[in-house]
Chains A and B, each alone.
Chain A
Amino acid sequence: MLDKSVRWMTLEELERHLWQAADILRGHVDAGKFKDYIFALLFYRRLCDVWDEEFEVLLAETGDREEAADPDEHRFHVPPQHHWTAVRKHSTQIGQHLNNAFAAIEDANLRLRGVFGDVDFANQERFPDARLEKLLAHFEKHRLRNRDVPPDMLGDAYMYLIEQFAEGAGKKGGEFYTPRQVVKLIVECLDPQPGMSIYDPTCGSGGMLLEAVQHLKHKGQDPRSLSLYGQEKELDTWAIAQINLFLHDIDDAFIGKGDTILDPKRYDPRAQEFTPGVGAYDRVMANPPFSQKVWGHEVWVNGDPFGRDVYGVPPKGYGDLAFVQHMIASLKDDGMLGVVVPHGVLFRGGAEGRIREGMLKADIIEAVIGLAPNLFYGAGIPAAILIVRKAKPAERKGKVLVINGDATFTSGKAQNHLTDANVRMLTDAFHGFVDIEKLARVVPVVEIAANGFNLNISRYVQTGADAEAVDVAAEVAKLHDLIAKRDEAEAVMFGHLKRLGYVE
């Protein structure tokens, strides 16, 4: 009955679909608000489609329509009178019916509380019935069941809407969308196993957590055995993460709201709610905002109340190492973390230098993977991945694997990207943990110490793209030598010229 041949909708198709939806609203709604309305409808549509998908499966199994519609058989409840098809039967007051449906769905599902935000379709002037009729008809052109769309499709859709209709094109206060292949690279390195707890402290729309799900699926393991945890500050994004995980049949997924550094949340399974605190997980991964200016320095400077400032307090305008230390604090003793950081974290001095030194001395940095430039949407800054493990395997102790991926990419029109082959090359290098010419080198921590705990990747592995002389004193000495030789050559020349009567 399930048609495996159904093809996933491409991102281009999805984008065109949403662009056309925006066309219907254009001129009637403030462009900055497009994304809220479109997203609410998109989500509503998707929820109803997934419900229908479940219904179809249940019906095929039981042959009983009533049983297939039984709320107890579904992961979430869509009250029948608020289902898309029911709302579509109304030709007047459509906006009010939509509002009611959103409220009813949120009420019926604890975990969906707040996901529709505060959109209001009831304004008759802005949304006359004819216009809503057109809009809803448009959303019926594509079905959005789990088998129609790729896993993080709503995340992609949301990024697209922000990109098109929000200020600052794709960038929200220094927060960047993490390209799927970079996420994949981290997940492949951390290789989560069935039954593990996985945590993303800045989870955005939940892309990393979902990738862990995909990772298990690909290996033929049961992703439902995972427990997923996340925290997200932006409410819109939190809602998407919530929806994304919810729709992927992951019941053990809990996304807290709030600022990870100032207000860390830990899920309390008995109380079934988040309480302030730092948890302990098997795998921790994140792409925290790069060099966040306001991150909570004023609090940490007097000591982090949650005790995460083990290696020191990061500088005021650079929150990177606060996030990294939060992640370290969130690791089980045998846990492992992967985090995307800007290159500066690897070599900047001052407070960051001291924190880096502490981490290296504690021997918890297992690998540094430098990524090619221009991979991140809206951010050309080169980034790197840090892999941290509190208890490294014996043969990796006292060593850091440095991988230089500066040349491992495929160039695209506006930005570069990683192909599956690129990702494989980097993950193989990580798991191999051996020297590979122009790509990877196992560097003893003592060597890094001798370099003043500088982890600048090109210092240890040169891809040949930009090898440069660094020993100024030696170069200056050579220059003195060359100038002396030149003066000598000129003296010989002037000697001849003098003899010939050209001089004086």
Chain B
Amino acid sequence: MSSEVPKGWLPAKLGEIAALSGGTTPSKSNGAYWTHGTVPWATPSDVTSLPLGQTRIATTEAQVSERALKECSLKLNPPNTVLMTSRATIGYAVINDMPMATNQGFLNFACSSDCVPEFLCHWLNAKRDLLTAAAGGSTFKELSRGTAKLLPILLPPVDEQRRIAEVLRSVDEAILANRASIMHMSRVRAATLHAAFEESAWEPVKLGDLGRWSSGGTPPKADQSLWNGDVPWICPRDMKSPVVTRAESTVAEKAIGGACKMVPNGTLLLVVRGMILAKAIPTATTAMAATYNQDIKAFHPNGRAIPKFVQLCLQHQEHGLLKQVNTATHGTKKLDAHTIAEVEVPLPDLPTQIELSQTITDMDLAMVRSGEEHIRLVRMKAALQSDLLFGHVRVPA
């Protein structure tokens, strides 16, 4: 990386381009500082909880009273101050849209006329590693105002700062817009399932009438020759996504038999035992032939329903099923075979099942694509920041 100063840019110190100040926490025991407070008062989590790509902040979780401002020498930062976390988590910067105070975990930059807040905000976020490295402190890592003031920055002319900020903002906006569409896709998915399962006039059929559910098993652990073979052996931990493509453990072919059953590609699996059932009912279809353990039941349909459709129905009913999870005497959570058999599935004809399953599969695929896009955008932004903020690539007028 070149240490040359790009043409027209000026070396400066942070303390020379902005006035730095901190914040504080008014006494929590004094009700007058907090009750009916109307002044936004930021803590680091207000900043770190913002979605990636969002550089502006307008509201905070907590508010303080006017009186707290007066009596606690709490500084009210005017809009367009760069608020940066400086304690424990360091170098998360945002710009406030509203007058806002902060707690002691911030360094706040009131920019001079030479410095564009948006540019400084991007610069600080891009230099997070350097800022963290410069921080001292024993209990908390903390970047002091004194240290921060002396950190060097190469400052482009104000117009160029604005142009750089504009390019970076276009990336941020793409990230935010993509994120909003991903979030909404899951809403559409839920609404589609809701309409299908709650508002259709499909005849309800009990799950027990659609096929058989069988438990898996564990080959004897002591017999080494039964393990580490070619056959995937699925445990609940392998069922983190709706399609299982691989299992962490494998068994040998000769281990198949008895409780350790083999199911074909495309089998629906359901977790029926384990603490995960306290918060989720994992289901998955297999993308290969596999064996599975005793905490899982496999579905053997009798031809009236396709596994993917049943899986969607179970996903849709997760909220209700969670309430039916029992606790075994030793505390393990379990779903009884009886409960599973009694689950009601509104069942349309096979073509309709296939169509709905395909629609949802397509939606899932679109969500995966958008997720990948998100990752690409974030990576690109990081590369672009380093090119533009440090003058490797210039943004012409």
Residues of A within 8 A of B (CB): 171, 291, 315, 317-318, 344, 347-350, 353, 373-374, 378-382, 413-414, 416, 452, 454, 456, 465-466, 468-472, 475-476, 478-479, 482-483, 485-486, 488-490, 492-493, 495-497, 499-502
- 16 additional A-B pairs beyond A479-B188, A486-B174, A496-B170, beta carbons within 8 Å, are A291-B206, A317-B205, A344-B344, A349-B202, A353-B201, A373-B324, A380-B339, A469-B191, A470-B191, A470-B199, A478-B184, A485-B177, A486-B180, A489-B177, A490-B178, A500-B395
Q: State A254–B24 Cα separation when bound (angstroms).
A: 78
Residues B188 and A348 in contact, CB atoms below 8 Å apart: no
List the A side residues contacting B393 at CB < 8 Å.
500-501
Chain B, 295-347, CB within 8 A of any chain A CB: 319-320, 323-324, 326-327, 338-339, 342, 344, 346
The answer, yes or no, to whether B97 is at the interface (CB within 8 Å) is: no
Residues A380 and B184 in contact, CB atoms below 8 Å apart: no
Pick the contact of A472: B180, B191, B202, B346 (CB < 8 A).
B191
Residues B191 and A475 in contact, CB atoms below 8 Å apart: yes
The answer, yes or no, to whether B190 is at the interface (CB within 8 Å) is: yes
Residues A489 and B174 in contact, CB atoms below 8 Å apart: yes
The answer, yes or no, to whether B38 is at the interface (CB within 8 Å) is: no
The answer, yes or no, to whether B185 is at the interface (CB within 8 Å) is: yes
Pick the contact of A378: B323, B338, B344 (CB < 8 A).
B338
List the A side residues contacting B70 at CB < 8 Å.
none
Residues B198 and A456 in contact, CB atoms below 8 Å apart: yes
Residues B200 and A469 in contact, CB atoms below 8 Å apart: no
Residues A468 and B190 in contact, CB atoms below 8 Å apart: yes
- Mostly helix, strand, loop or mixed at chain A's interface? loop
List the A side residues contacting B181 at CB < 8 Å.
479, 482-483, 485-486
Pick the contact of B188: A382, A466, A476, A493 (CB < 8 A).
A476
Q: State A264–B393 Cα separation when bound (angstroms).
A: 90
Residues A380 and B319 in contact, CB atoms below 8 Å apart: no
- Chain B: residues with Cβ within 8 Å of the partner, total of 44
Given A380-B339, A479-B184, A486-B177, answer yes or no on A373-B167 (Cβ-Cβ < 8 Å). Answer: no
List the B side residues contacting A499 at CB < 8 Å.
396
The answer, yes or no, to whether B11 is at the interface (CB within 8 Å) is: no
Q: State A379–B338 Cα separation when bound (angstroms).
A: 9
Residues A490 and B174 in contact, CB atoms below 8 Å apart: yes
List the A side residues contacting B339 at CB < 8 Å.
380
Residues A493 and B174 in contact, CB atoms below 8 Å apart: yes
List the B side residues contacting A452 at CB < 8 Å.
199
Residue of B nearest to A349 (CB): B201
Q: State A468–B395 Cα separation when bound (angstroms).
A: 47
| Cβ proximity bits B195-221 to A, threshold 8 Å, 1 near / 0 not | 100111111111000000000000000
Residues of B within 8 A of A (CB): 166-167, 170-171, 173-174, 176-178, 180-181, 184-185, 187-188, 190-192, 194-195, 198-206, 319-320, 323-324, 326-327, 338-339, 342, 344, 346, 384, 393, 395-396
Q: State A486–B172 Cα separation when bound (angstroms).
A: 11
Nearest first, the 8 A-B pairs at minimum CB distance are A349-B201, A380-B324, A486-B177, A373-B323, A493-B170, A489-B177, A482-B181, A489-B174
Residue of A nearest to B393 (CB): A500
Pick the contact of B327: A347, A413, A456 (CB < 8 A).
A413
Residue of A nearest to B173 (CB): A489
Pick the contact of B184: A379, A470, A482 (CB < 8 A).
A482
List the A side residues contacting B187 at CB < 8 Å.
469, 475, 479
Residue of B nearest to A468 (CB): B194
Residues A382 and B170 in contact, CB atoms below 8 Å apart: no
Residues A414 and B326 in contact, CB atoms below 8 Å apart: yes
Q: State A472–B363 Cα separation when bound (angstroms).
A: 14
List the B side residues contacting A456 at CB < 8 Å.
198
Given A344-B344, A347-B198, answer yes or no on A373-B204 (Cβ-Cβ < 8 Å). Answer: no
29 interchain pairs, CB-CB under 8 A: A291-B206, A350-B201, A374-B323, A380-B324, A414-B326, A414-B327, A466-B319, A468-B191, A469-B194, A472-B188, A472-B192, A475-B188, A479-B188, A482-B181, A483-B181, A485-B180, A485-B181, A486-B174, A486-B177, A486-B178, A486-B181, A488-B177, A489-B173, A489-B177, A492-B173, A496-B166, A499-B396, A501-B393, A502-B384
Closest Cβ–Cβ distance, residue A97 to chain B (whole Å): 42
Residues A344 and B204 in contact, CB atoms below 8 Å apart: yes
List the B side residues contacting A495 at CB < 8 Å.
170
Instruction: Choose among B171, B176, B191, B327 the residue with the greatest number of A CB atoms under 10 Å from its CB.
Output: B191
List the A side residues contacting B177 at CB < 8 Å.
482, 485-486, 488-490
Residue of B nearest to A465 (CB): B319
Residue of B nearest to A471 (CB): B191
List the B side residues contacting A414 at CB < 8 Å.
326-327
Closest Cβ–Cβ distance, residue A55 to chain B (whole Å): 45
Residues A315 and B326 in contact, CB atoms below 8 Å apart: no
Given A349-B200, A349-B201, A479-B181, answer yes or no on A374-B188 (Cβ-Cβ < 8 Å). Answer: no
Residues B320 and A373 in contact, CB atoms below 8 Å apart: yes
Closest Cβ–Cβ distance, residue A170 to chain B (whole Å): 10
Residue of A nearest to B344 (CB): A344
Residue of A nearest to B346 (CB): A348
List the B side residues contacting A465 at CB < 8 Å.
319
Closest Cβ–Cβ distance, residue A468 to chain B (whole Å): 5
Residues B204 and A348 in contact, CB atoms below 8 Å apart: yes
Q: State A345–B191 Cα separation when bound (angstroms).
A: 22
List the A side residues contacting B396 at CB < 8 Å.
499
List the B side residues contacting A373 at CB < 8 Å.
320, 323-324
Q: State A488–B177 Cα separation when bound (angstroms).
A: 9
Given A348-B204, A353-B201, A486-B177, answer yes or no on A493-B171 (Cβ-Cβ < 8 Å). Answer: yes
Residues B174 and A379 in contact, CB atoms below 8 Å apart: no
Q: State A315–B203 Cα separation when bound (angstroms).
A: 9
Residue of B nearest to A171 (CB): B338
List the A side residues contacting B319 at CB < 8 Å.
465-466
List the A side residues contacting B206 at CB < 8 Å.
291
Residues A380 and B323 in contact, CB atoms below 8 Å apart: yes
List the B side residues contacting A347 at CB < 8 Å.
198-199
List the B side residues contacting A378 at CB < 8 Å.
338
Q: State A488–B181 Cα separation when bound (angstroms).
A: 13
Residue of B nearest to A411 (CB): B323
List the B side residues contacting A353 at CB < 8 Å.
201
List the B side residues contacting A469 at CB < 8 Å.
187, 190-191, 194
Closest Cβ–Cβ distance, residue A376 to chain B (whole Å): 11
Instruction: Choose among A315, A317, A496 the residue with the greatest number of B CB atoms under 10 Å from its CB.
Output: A496
Residues B184 and A475 in contact, CB atoms below 8 Å apart: yes
Q: State A493–B177 Cα separation when bound (angstroms).
A: 12
Q: State A382–B185 Cα separation when bound (angstroms).
A: 30
Pick the contact of A350: B203, B323, B338 (CB < 8 A).
B203
List the B side residues contacting A380 at CB < 8 Å.
323-324, 339, 342
Residue of A nearest to B178 (CB): A486
List the B side residues contacting A478 at CB < 8 Å.
184
Pick the contact of A493: B173, B200, B326 (CB < 8 A).
B173
List the A side residues contacting B198 at CB < 8 Å.
347, 456, 470
